[in-house]
Amino acid sequence: MKHVALIGLGIMGRGLAGNILKAGHKLTVYNRTRDKAEPFAARGAQVAASPREAAAGAEIVISCVGDDAASRAVWLGGDGALAGSAPGAVLVECSTLSLDWTRELGETVKARGLDFLDAPMAGSKNAAANAELTLFVGGETAALDKARPVLEAISRRIAHLGPIGAGATYKLINNMMAAAQVAGLAEGMRLAEAAGLDMGQIRELALSGATTSPMVAAKAPRILERRYGDIDFALRWLLKDVRYALALGKQYGVSLRTMEATEAVFQAADQRGHGDDDSAAVAEGVDVDGQ
């Protein structure tokens, strides 16, 4: 069994923590708000006062936070996890981040003589809770082999895509395609409503024909019912991923016109106060009668 540090106990991080404990690994957790850590303390996890304290003595250090700024804050600085990481540790970034920051972090970690994997996750809250995530991994095979017992405890599939940054790259591609599906679904459902179609019938058709997908199946009922609570994936985080993907497209000289349009719909919903709702709330960014 491994000694694991987990930094970040949001919607996804809580699922990771539960499965790491279930697999029998020793776990130390850190979260900015301590109350989210208490349920895991009751299950045997240690609760640290800082990322540095969490990382001390851990063989595998995992971060699961919201964006580049949060990742930078938990890894770097005097209280950061990198400062507390022990020789021989593998540092694993499971957050969805920009390619530039992922590579910078990887270089910083390697300069300290430690191993680094970027391993962003595909899957929502339920997938995290049930260890059904797919991990898109970038990094050296030897580092992955060291971390594999822990990564297998939180996922159903580990896709090793190449060197550091490969995981981050594909995760942004994955999420931009998902965002386009949700935005297209939202516009389609609003158009069907405006046309006066039977929405019960439309729901059945959308979920049974060529238009369906796991993403459509998850979001169509929410959009039709305008049910945006009990969040699987907050709209503001998917908007962030779309923006990181647009930056990735510029970096590689690929025009992402569909993503530009998708960003506009998500941004409209965010500006209308739905950033902390489930990403299905992108439907509130679709203009109807100019509203």
How far apart CA 183 and CA 273 sit, in angstroms, is 17
Q: For 168-213, what is each residue's pLDDT tens digit?
A: 999 999 999 999 999 999 999 999 999 999 999 999 999 998 999 9
Indicate whether 36 and 60 sit together in one domain: yes
Counting residues of the chain whose pLDDT is more than 70, the rounded percentage is: 99
Indicate whether 107 and 67 sit together in one domain: yes
Whether pLDDT at 290 is above 60 = no
End-to-end CA distance of the chain: 56
- Residue 290 included in any domain: no
Indicate whether 22 and 65 sit together in one domain: yes
Structure tokens at 81: 């996890």
Counting residues of the chain whose pLDDT is more than 90, the rounded percentage is: 98
Cα distances (Å, whole numbers) of residue 135 to 90, 148, 157, 274: 16, 11, 6, 28
Q: Which residues span the domain enclosing 90?
A: 3-163
Cβ distance 86 to 34 under 8 Å? no
Indicate whether 13 and 67 sit together in one domain: yes
pLDDT of residue 289: 78
Find the helix or strand (DSSP H, E) in which 3 lies. Answer: strand 3-7
* Domain edge (last residue) among 163, 183, 208: 163
Q: What is the domain count for the chain?
A: 2
* Domain edge (last residue) among 118, 144, 163: 163
pLDDT of residue 279: 98
What is the CATH classification number for the domain harbouring 212? 1.10.1040.10
What is the CATH classification number for the domain harbouring 38? 3.40.50.720
How far apart CA 220 and CA 206 sit, in angstroms, is 8
pLDDT of residue 288: 85
* Domain edge (last residue) among 163, 187, 217: 163
Residue in 62, 60, 64, 32 with CA at minimum distance from that of residue 48: 32
pLDDT of residue 291: 53
- Residue 291 included in any domain: no
Mean pLDDT of 33-62: 96
Q: Is 171 a catalytic residue?
A: yes
The three state secondary structure string of 157-226 is: EEEEEECCCHHHHHHHHHHHHHHHHHHHHHHHHHHHHHCCCCHHHHHHHHCCCCCCCHHHHHHHHHHHHC
Indicate whether 157 and 225 sit together in one domain: no
Find the helix or strand (DSSP H, E) in which 277 lies. Answer: none
Q: For 117-131, what is each residue's pLDDT tens digit?
A: 999 999 999 999 999
Beta strands in 31-172 (DSSP E): 46-47, 60-63, 90-93, 115-118, 121-122, 133-138, 155-162
Active-site option among 2, 146, 171, 219:
171
- Residue 181 included in any domain: yes
Mean pLDDT of 221-231: 96
Cβ distance 63 to 94 under 8 Å? yes
- Residue 93 included in any domain: yes
Whether pLDDT at 261 is above 60 = yes
User: Count of residues for the chain?
Assistant: 291
CA geometry: angle 246, 271, 96, nearest 5 deg? 40
3-state secondary structure of 75: helix
